[in-house]
Amino acid sequence: MARVKMFLSGLVLAAAMAGPQHAMAEPVQVRTDYKVSLVGFPVASANFITQVDGTSYSITGDLRSSAFSDLFSKVRGNANVSGKVTGDKLEASKFLVDYTSDKKKHRTEITFRNGDVHSTVNEPEPKDRGSDWVPLLEGDLRKVLDPLSGLVFPAGSAVCPRSLPIFDGEARATLHLTPKSIRPFSTKGFKGDAIVCSVRFEPNSGYRKNSSGIRYLRELKGAEVWFAKNDAVGLYAPVYAKVPTKIGKVIVAATKFGG
């Protein structure tokens, strides 16, 4: 289920990008908070600080499992991504995720140049590939998005329909967003309408053909992400996500958005 965790983490952490898209005279910082629940039980929380300086952005944040979830698996991690705002997307220059699951440490660092992957470091290094491995091709690492800021869009650009080419340090996948509806949403710092998009996961390369996690994500139905616009800063960011899993529905909800 590693890819399922990656997919969920991307939805949670991308929501941290509620920062300005326009050039500002001074750096601006925004704090955002989120909670994750599984069939109604709290399983994780996330807190982020986003700083925007002109057309440059950076995010630092942490994600940790709840006391309830710690009974099964204790997770602590932090993320950092930086880059620039360009056109209809946020383009990362450096992406870093460092986390511990129980006592196992994991680290992924990706550097980008003009949207292309320049280098990738995974610690520990990936295990030997089996015969069912779908390898990455050179073209798979061109014009891709990181799994955090790839889900945030400048105002004036289409939220959905849209297809997002995501690279997480190992796998290359495409998230297809399709318009579904407009729904009211309110939380601390925000009250208004949200754009609801259904999500379809398409694996491209860097995965095992026989992976149960990949198969589950490919066949997943009913997943959706809600995007809200912060009028003051002119950015659409996720405020709510619903993802069915084999053991119940995962809900990611913003407890603070702007304000």
Extended beta strands in the chain, E state: 28-38, 41-53, 56-65, 75-86, 89-101, 104-113, 116-123, 133-134, 153-154, 162-167, 172-187, 190-205, 207-208, 224-230, 235-245, 248-256
CA dihedral in degrees (82, 79, 135, 3; nearest 10)? -140
Residue 80 reports pLDDT greater than 50? yes
pLDDT at residue number 187:
94
**Amino acid code (one letter) for 179:** P
Q: Are strands 224-230 and 116-123 parallel, antiparallel or unpaired?
A: unpaired
Q: Is 34's pLDDT higher than 70? A: yes
CATH code that applies to domain 2-256:
2.40.360
pLDDT at residue number 109: 97
Q: What is the pLDDT, as a whole number, of residue 73? A: 66
What mean pLDDT comes out for the span 58-66?
81
- pTM as predicted: 0.84
Q: What pLDDT is attached to residue 130? A: 85
Q: Tens of pLDDT along 4-33? A: 444 555 555 444 443 333 434 467 777 788
**Each residue of 103-160: pLDDT tens digit?**
889 999 999 999 999 999 999 988 878 889 999 998 999 999 998 888 888 888 899 9
